[in-house]
A and B are shown apart, each in its own frame.
Chain A
Amino acid sequence: MVIFENVSMTYPGGDAPAIDNMSFAIDDGEFVFLVGPSGSGKTSIIKLITGEVMAGSGNLNVNGFDLRRIRRRKLPALRRTIGVIFQDYRLIEDMTIYDNVAFAMHIVGAPNRDIRRRVPYVLDLVGLSGREKRYPREVSGGEQQRAAVARAIVNSPRLLIADEPTGNLDPARSLELMLLMDRINDNEMGTTVLVVTHEKELVNSFSKRVVAIDEGRVISDGMDGYYSYEIQ
């Protein structure tokens, strides 16, 4: 669960607030698209949720963690309840696909036996069986993004955040990825999913909640899966 309550945040040295008195909530199990033009505050919202930056005012609660009062040493615990997928995949180049996923389990202290069982299962779930021993540079962009999804979900996070996940993929691979995220939300795990994207056609092809923001404020929040052309 994510609760923004009158949250404002200004970057050090910044003139205007990146997030301006923002309020919205995402319930457990929801699938939400977060849309808005460049510089509207989408990335700032992700940074606030993951504790990378701290809110200046208001209340912010993510998966039970009060981010206005959280101690720095508690941030890893928060982040283990969140899976994040980036546009540029952010896989570790020196690790195989298998190791990239497995190391996320090592971080939470999972026993080796569980890792050996769980990682192949998740790789199979995202369609990467047979690619375990490849390095990121040896597979396609779509496969790298699916590996990033596997890493993000391997610890069964309560919240999955995807930051422009289809930015480097062709339309067919983009649709595949969104269907996979939908499955993760809908059937497989019931994970809450927050997708930040520019792809209006993709958004409009799913009947999901769409939160639109501009200049650090929520300008629309609807359940009809409609991405307004005006706010691009």
Chain B
Amino acid sequence: MRSSKIGYLTKEGFKSIVTHGFMSFASVTIIVACLVIMGSFTLIAVNLGGMLDKLEAENEIVAFVEETFPEEEARALQSQIEYLPNVRSCQFESRQQAKEELAASYDDQSMFQDVPDTAFRDRYIIYLEDISLTEQTQEQLYQIIGVAEVRAHLQVAESFVAVRNAVSAVSLILVVVLVVVSVFVMSNTVKLASFSRRDEIAIMKMVGASNWFIRFPFVVEGLMLGLLGGLLAFVLQWGIYDVVANRIMGSLIGSLIPVIPFATFSAVVLLIYLGVGLAVGIFGSSIAIRNYLQV
């Protein structure tokens, strides 16, 4: 293909964006709206996921060591506990430390003065990789000789898993539904744009234009509009996110709900938005004019 021909067709694509200004505006608006709606739901899901990660990470189980075990032997169990597959980390806490910790939680610490250390047991504070496997890990801990009792908040763990599954399912369904709606709306917008130009396409065919000659400017146009839509959606998304995040952080629940800063995933969001915009623009435009090329 001659470079002058590519240059001509590319120029025609750019010109077409201006000459069909209203349809260009409509297409970009649709892309922006679809991306921002989908993006907002995804970012909510990401934040909920982050929140659950944090809460999960704070969820601990406690393994008490047999009272008959001296501290040295109790400490020796650490390697066995750490060896278990679902254990992320574990921390030994001696009877004395346990007593001091309990005493520290009371205003009047003097009442613990006469309590002997032996009233407490050596213990391990254990953090898990996956809290949905808490029960199995609990059973594995009981298999270790020296572990007398394991205290795990099974119901809390189950609740976390249930919430995470619900959030994942709802956000997945929403994103799928919105993707379908976006593709439908987008393809109709492009169909409308190409319908208004069917005469132009028919004239080109009649003069002997090949399909790619007709399609090329449409693809260039779709590509540019898609990229522009992706970029505008990114800027708008960032703005909306910051406004909402500032509101939440400034409110009472802000101290309870940590909001992930947009800058953390801005590069990924930009790449996804540009990629989706590009794909929708190119495929939308080339598919939409397909019907008019069968002349």
Identify the A interface with B (CB < 8 A): 50, 52, 73, 76-80, 82, 84, 90-92, 94, 103-104, 106-109, 111-112, 151, 155
The chain A residue sitting closest to B2, CB to CB, is A109
| A107 and B207 in contact, given A90-B199, A92-B200 (Cβ under 8 angstroms) | yes
Q: Inside 8 A of A50's CB, which chain B residues have their CB?
A: 206
Interface residues on B, range: 20 to 34
Partner of B8 from A52, A79, A106 at Cβ < 8 Å: A106
**Interchain CA distance A94-B15 in the complex, whole Å:** 10
- Contacting chain A: which of B88-96, B208-216, B272-280? B208-216
**Interchain CA distance A218-B148 in the complex, whole Å:** 107
Q: Inside 8 A of B16's CB, which chain A residues have their CB?
A: 94
Shortest C-beta distance, B12 to chain A (Å), equals: 8
Q: Inside 8 A of A91's CB, which chain B residues have their CB?
A: 203
| 0/1 string, B1-40, CB within 8 A of A gives 1 | 0101100110000011001100000000000000000000
**Interchain CA distance A177-B169 in the complex, whole Å:** 70
Flag if B207 contacts A151 (CB, 8 Å): yes
Shortest C-beta distance, B210 to chain A (Å), equals: 5
Is B75 part of the contact surface with A, judged by Cβ < 8 Å? no
Partner of A79 from B2, B4, B199, B207 at Cβ < 8 Å: B207
Partner of A107 from B15, B199, B202, B209 at Cβ < 8 Å: B209
Flag if A84 contacts B206 (CB, 8 Å): yes
Flag if B19 contacts A79 (CB, 8 Å): no
The chain A residue sitting closest to B20, CB to CB, is A94
Flag if B206 contacts A76 (CB, 8 Å): no
**Interchain CA distance A50-B207 in the complex, whole Å:** 10
The chain B residue sitting closest to A53, CB to CB, is B295
Q: Inside 8 A of A106's CB, which chain B residues have their CB?
A: 5, 8-9
Flag if A76 contacts B209 (CB, 8 Å): yes
| A112 and B4 in contact, given A76-B208, A84-B206 (Cβ under 8 angstroms) | yes
The chain B residue sitting closest to A77, CB to CB, is B208
| A80 and B208 in contact, given A52-B295, A90-B199 (Cβ under 8 angstroms) | yes
Flag if A94 contacts B209 (CB, 8 Å): no
Partner of A90 from B5, B203, B208 at Cβ < 8 Å: B203
Is B164 part of the contact surface with A, judged by Cβ < 8 Å? no
Flag if A79 contacts B206 (CB, 8 Å): yes
**Interchain CA distance A41-B203 in the complex, whole Å:** 22
Is B150 part of the contact surface with A, judged by Cβ < 8 Å? no
Q: Inside 8 A of B205's CB, which chain A residues have their CB?
A: 76, 79
Shortest C-beta distance, B170 to chain A (Å), equals: 47
**Interchain CA distance A155-B15 in the complex, whole Å:** 24
Is B175 part of the contact surface with A, judged by Cβ < 8 Å? no
Flag if B4 contacts A111 (CB, 8 Å): yes
**Interchain CA distance A104-B16 in the complex, whole Å:** 17
